[in-house]
Structure 1
Amino acid sequence: MKRVLFIGELPNIAVHGISKSNYVNIAILREYFDLCIIQEKIQLSDHNRLRLSKVNLLLSNILQLFGTRAHFLYLVLSISIFGIIKTYLYVCIFKLLNPLSSVVIHIHRSDLKGFVDNDKLKHFVVKNLLKISTKVVVLDKKAIEDLSVFFVETKIMVLKNTIADVVDDNINYKQRFDSRKCLFISNYIKEKGILDLIAVFNDINGDFLLDCYGSKTDTELYNIIEQGRSDRVSINDQILSNEKMKIIQGAYVLILPSYNEGQPLIILEAIRTGLPVIVTDVGYVKNMLPPYYPYLLDLNNIQVSLKQCMNRIFCLNYEEYYALSLALQNFYSENFSYDSHKRELLKIFQA
């Protein structure tokens, strides 16, 4: 049995979209390969911060890497200066020790091109990193054009995200329609648009409510978010997976007014159950929804477009709402199913 060495984050330390996606992928790979894991144990609050603990973790992981042999190295590219240098070191050391083995780099973000533009150091590191990789995995075909400036397109493979959890198909659409409840489920990060969302809710008229769930990543930001709490807006801690499905099934709409996204798992979790979403047209979000989806936010005018989308979606009658829910469920089944994801993932790791 061939061995896959995975280096990356998992949700037992930091719960976010990439760590949860990693968990799904390594669970599949474990069925077919001898899987070895070097876990990057980085707390969510330390993301985007250079701390001594992260340097110590890097050195510890490199020591483990020297003692490991594998047919494949599988890792996620972190979009930060420290992240790309760290990934470059991992790949160079692995290829030195395993010259005939393959390197699979997974890019979960949609902003890599913007990250390296007009920065010679970033561009040099990323270009050489992707050049020595065997395969590069992206979330959407839209990414292929952006990455073609670094290397030949034949190395790029598209692997859409998916949800592995079993979902209860017994959804009460009428109860959901009558709830008038809006959801925000994401870590409390400024770029997720949480401040815009709260500002709109405390300004717009209507009988709808907003329940927010997420992990606190920054004390100062969280204190600002807390100030937006009201009779119509609740601010809650992160929820567990088994609780999340119950909350999603009892809501009218999910709202995610982000400034930067790749292919958010929470959108897939919503549309898999037919829950309508109001989301920013950023990253690969538009391709996660049916063509001409009418509830996309304008990145350059989020608060105004959010008010407009909310007014439109809450004007739907039940038949229109139900038809929208079924269309979203069908789109998920046709484009993001677990079985399809599994087949495509295993193709990537074919010899």
Structure 2
Amino acid sequence: MSTQDIPEEENLPAEQGAKDSGEVAVPADPFADPGVPPHELRIQDIDDKAARHSERVVATLFTVSMLATVGFIASFAALSVDKIIYVFPLGHVSALNFALGLCLAVALFSIGAGAVHWARTLMSDHEIVQERHPIEATPEARAQVFKDWQDGVADSSFGRRKLARNTLFGALALVPLSGIVLLRDLGPMPEDKLRHTKWAKGKRLMNQNTMQPLRPEDIPVGSLTFAMPEGMSEHDHDFQNQIAKAALMIVRIKPEDIKDKRSLDWSHHGIVAYSKICTHVGCPISLYEQQTHHVLCPCHQSTFDLADGGRVIFGPAGHALPQLEISVNAQGYLEAKGDFAEPVGPAFWERG
């Protein structure tokens, strides 16, 4: 049959014929894979001078990161926490916090910017298409992975661009120092403050409730009295810090009931003075059993024997209550003969 014998509509394209017949046309492949676009060379790929310039930019960013980290540490050491500065538009801010935040932000940003610039200008940007494969890798696949890794290292210029590589190592090595320095900001160093209280030779024992100096006759047998050093006031700016170390409890025990010789020597006619601060976690001790001469910490039930050097007889406390040596002055008032012989309160790592 010749083309002249074919009806006119049979000579139309498939889409036109479907349109005329009222049917929906379906393209042969509506989701055709366009493939990977043609690779375009960057200027760094064809111009070694441009590549060296990009490497210098990367190295500069990493160097800026290192300098910012050094600035972070220097700011922490040099600036006072009380210094206030005006920064627009933030207003009045702490100079230390502003310097630390700015330096740390620059250090981290510079590492990130340097890594991105390195990837975009110096590392290979060839698109690679790889078919999916079974989860269990074959020996050939593993060999291919190692080869791809080696090719990636070569493409990244990591071995060839030594300036960028070495400055990256330097930046990454210094940035963690910021975190180490921040540990210093957990609080002021105690130095020897934990070893000293407001007690000193000649300071009278003041009743913490009446704020009057104590005489031996003010303390009957079996009583528990709380005292603090002469010269302290609740209006002092550091009163809470000082009383947390100097708080004292006083009891009167018959001298023949005192078992520890040093406790007897440091007492006055059976009046013994011990730190009120529990040696477990520093809770104030306030419960006294006059028949046994035991005091109980209400927090975790550590129990101490005041007739036997304040030693621990029960509970989690780690060591005995420190005792304060006392005597009576010429006016008949109880006074301290010095400070506690050992640090009060819980143990700490520097304690010998």
TM-score range, shorter chain: under 0.3
Rg (Cα) greater in structure: 2
Question: Which fold has the larger relative contact order, with Cα–Cα distance below 8 Å and residues 6 or more apart in sequence?
Answer: 1
* TM-score normalised per structure 1: 0.25
* TM-score normalised per structure 2: 0.25
